[in-house]
């Protein structure tokens, strides 16, 4: 018994003496999100600059007042996220150029109004997310974070307009109870929306994505709640409006 105890004590001593040799690997700092702005408005640019510089996870890449300065910032600063004023004709027409020349840059369109045709045009040109100028600080920060992760983020009123099926500005945007709170859709949720819209069952989606049927069902409930729709038809409309479906996959004419 004495021998066993001594052996244990010896073993513990040797182990303790070796502890100092094991060190944790250094934690790599997460890269800050590099943010640029394209807008002719001095006030808006300065406001966004102040916001970006106040968030430790963000880094200010600069603001462009012309296409020349925008191209220079994109080439030299390599921003992760570009907030672009869609009310400016020159910048609005540059969306295709940005997508073509700088495909890694994720774009957030900013507008003062929300009509479906304008929003859809921006989405077709490669915009990832969409905000209104009335959105608050917290919503803009969340939009930048989501967009940098290649998630789609829409102001709540934008989503309302997209799902309203109207070509004119949605009357509901004028109602006080329509929230401007943002809607953040992850890449996984976008994938599930697409598959639901293409007519796949919950079990088929689960098999395709290597998930449980329960997980897919939970995703579906969360998506319905986020988009404030009640059924698959609403999800299909969202998928069509956001170009998630190929034309031959439409479930309706």
Q: What is the CATH number of the domain that holds 243?
A: 1.10.10.10
How far apart, in whole angstroms, are the C-alpha atoms of residue 50 and residue 53? Answer: 5
Whether 116 and 192 map to the same domain: the answer is no
Q: Using one digit for the tens of pLDDT, what is the confidence trace for 104-115?
A: 999 999 988 767
pLDDT of residue 25: 46
CATH of residue 93: 3.40.50.2300
Nearest by Cα to 226 from 188, 195, 189? 189
Both structure tokens of 48: 């966004």
Whether 123 and 101 map to the same domain: the answer is yes
Whether 49 and 168 map to the same domain: the answer is yes
Nearest by Cα to 183 from 226, 144, 225? 226
Q: Using one digit for the tens of pLDDT, what is the confidence trace for 198-213?
A: 888 888 988 988 888 8
Please indicate, yes or no, if residue 18 is contained in any of the structural domains: no
Residue 134: phi, psi to the nearest 5?
-85, -5
Last residue of a domain, one of 174, 198, 214: 174
Q: Using one digit for the tens of pLDDT, what is the confidence trace for 154-197?
A: 887 777 676 665 434 334 333 333 345 567 777 788 888 888 88
Q: Mean pLDDT, to the nearest integer, of 7-12?
A: 48
Both structure tokens of 32: 């800050």
Partnered with residue 189 across adjacent β-strands are none
pLDDT of residue 47: 93
Task: Judge whether residue 2 has pLDDT over 50.
Answer: no
Q: Using one digit for the tens of pLDDT, what is the confidence trace for 48-101?
A: 999 999 999 999 999 999 999 999 999 999 999 999 998 888 888 888 888 889
Please indicate, yes or no, if residue 215 is contained in any of the structural domains: yes
Last residue of a domain, one of 174, 196, 223: 174
Both structure tokens of 107: 């774009």
What is the CB neighbour count within 10 angstroms for residue 142? 16
How far apart, in whole angstroms, are the C-alpha atoms of residue 253 and residue 230? Answer: 21
Residue labelled with tokens 């191209």: 71
Contact indicator for 170, 114 with CB cutoff of 8 Å: yes
Whether 96 and 140 map to the same domain: the answer is yes
Longest dimension (CA), the chain: 90
Q: Using one digit for the tens of pLDDT, what is the confidence trace for 121-144?
A: 788 888 889 898 888 898 899 999
pTM across the whole model:
0.62
Whether 144 and 49 map to the same domain: the answer is yes
Provide the residue range defining the domain that includes 62: 33-174
Please indicate, yes or no, if residue 7 is contained in any of the structural domains: no
C-alpha torsion 152→147→248→222, nearest 10: -30
């Amino acid at each position: 018994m004495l021998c066993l105890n001594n052996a244990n004590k010896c073993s513990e001593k040797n182990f303790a003496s070796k502890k100092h040799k094991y060190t944790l690997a250094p934690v790599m700092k997460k890269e800050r999100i590099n943010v640029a702005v394209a807008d002719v408005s001095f006030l808006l640019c300065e406001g966004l600059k102040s916001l970006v510089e106040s968030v430790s996870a963000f880094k200010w890449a600069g603001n462009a007042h012309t296409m020349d300065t925008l191209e220079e910032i994109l080439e030299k600063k390599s921003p992760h996220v570009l907030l672009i004023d869609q009310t400016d004709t020159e910048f609005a027409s540059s969306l295709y150029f940005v997508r073509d020349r700088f495909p890694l840059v994720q774009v957030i369109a900013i507008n003062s109004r929300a009509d479906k045709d304008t929003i859809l045009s921006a989405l077709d040109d490669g915009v990832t997310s969409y905000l209104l100028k009335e959105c608050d600080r917290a919503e803009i920060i969340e939009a930048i974070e989501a967009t940098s992760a290649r998630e789609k983020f829409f102001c709540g009123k934008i989503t309302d307009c997209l799902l309203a099926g109207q070509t004119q500005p949605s009357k509901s945007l004028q109602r006080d109870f329509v929230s401007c709170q943002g809607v953040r859709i992850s890449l996984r949720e976008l994938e599930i929306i697409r598959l639901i819209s293409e007519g796949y069952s919950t079990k088929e989606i689960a098999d395709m994505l290597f998930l449980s049927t329960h997980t897919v069902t939970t995703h579906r409930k969360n998506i319905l709640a986020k988009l404030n729709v009640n059924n698959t038809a609403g999800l299909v409309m969202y998928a069509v409006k956001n170009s998630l479906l190929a034309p031959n996959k439409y479930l309706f004419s």
